[in-house]
Amino acid sequence: MLWTYIILGILIIIAAAIFEYETTKQFRDKRRQLHDTIGIVEEPLAPSGTMKIKSELWQATSVSNATIPKGASVRVLSVAGLELTVEHMEGSGDETV
């Protein structure tokens, strides 16, 4: 009977480890996919704000610490946790504020 609990405990630990590994792997893959992606500023980056990539909103910071207006196109340079560092895509026909 004791062996049953030991084996069950080991299986639960293995399942939790596999789940953690897969979740972390998906997040790493997502970070790689975001690099060099083009997005649109939703809330002016002064120097931080919100941008949209596809249908997802992300916190972003301008690499130059300059204000980037709403509607401007930006390119993702790096990802740190859930915050993106972006650069303004000059000459993208953006509105000015």
What CATH number is associated with residue 67? 2.40.50.140
Q: How far apart are CA 27 and CA 21, in angstroms?
A: 10
The pLDDT, as a whole number, for residue 92 is 58
Same domain, 22 and 57: no
- For the chain, the C-alpha Rg in angstroms (whole number) is 20
At 70, is the secondary structure helix, strand, or coil? coil
The pLDDT, as a whole number, for residue 25 is 75
The pLDDT, as a whole number, for residue 82 is 83
Higher pLDDT, 31 or 6: 6
pLDDT tier at 96, thresholds 50, 70, 90: very low
Q: How far apart are CA 42 and CA 58, in angstroms?
A: 9
pLDDT for residue 50 is more than 90: yes
Same domain, 28 and 59: no
The pLDDT, as a whole number, for residue 59 is 95
Among residues 52, 90, 56, the alpha carbon closest in space to that of 70 is found at 52
- Tally of domains in the chain: 2
pLDDT for residue 97 is more than 50: no
pLDDT tier at 78, thresholds 50, 70, 90: very high
Handedness of CA 9, 10, 15, 21 (dihedral sign): positive
Domain that includes residue 30, residue range: 1-34
